Each structure stands twice: as C-alpha cells, then as structure tokens.
Amino acid sequence: MCWKAAHYMDLHDDGGHALSGMNKSLCTDLMQRAVVDCMRVVGVNALDRRFGLEKSYRESIVFPLYDAGNLAMQQRRAWGVMTDPGFTPDLFVDSEPFGFRKSMEGFGVDTDMS
C-alpha cells in the first residue's frame, strides 16, 4: 500500500489524500501489532534497553500523533473522499486522478465556517 500511495502521488500531485490516509492507518496498526508481538516473544526482557524493543514500542505508540498529521485527521480525510458520490475504489486501482475538494476534508465535520 505504501508503494501504491507513493506511485499515485507521483502521478497526481494533489490526488492521494484518501490513499495516504488509508496508508497511515494501515501502517500505524501494523507497526503497533508487530512490535507488541515481538515483545511477547521476547517476554519480560523486551523492556531491557539492550534489545531496542522498548524504543520501538515508544515510537509505535507515538507514530499516530505525528508524521503527516494525527491518525484521526488522516482517517477523517480518507472517509471524506470515500463518501464523495464520484469516488469509486477503481480510481485508485487504475491510478486515475481524483481531485480533492474542501468538502472532502472530513466526513461528519462541518466545513462551513460562515
């Protein structure tokens, strides 16, 4: 999914908002599960600084909060694009352009500031 998002962004400068949000959600979840599974294998020694897992654990917990916006913001952006009437998953599969509009900024978020 990382490759697909990067490839799509290379083709379309301002079109990968939903795909990048989906990618961040997937990678965040995968990273946290992988680190916790490794810690389970190592056991109580996973917290020992000699193994480096404690650092990976801290980074996996903090990752949703930084690096291209927090996770909730990325998910709202992805939901906003996916709920647009003109969106179909085939657009990403076929690397077709799909423009991002202010109304897609977040599903369920009032974007009218008047």
| Domain boundaries defined on the chain | 2-97
pLDDT at 113: 46
Report CA torsion sign: 108, 26, 68, 90: negative
Question: Is pLDDT above 50 for 41?
Answer: yes
Write out pLDDT tens, residues 52-62: 898 999 888 88
pLDDT at 1: 76
Q: What does pLDDT average to over the chain?
A: 78
Question: Is pLDDT above 90 for 35?
Answer: yes
SS3 content of the chain, % helix, strand, coil (to 5): 65, 0, 35
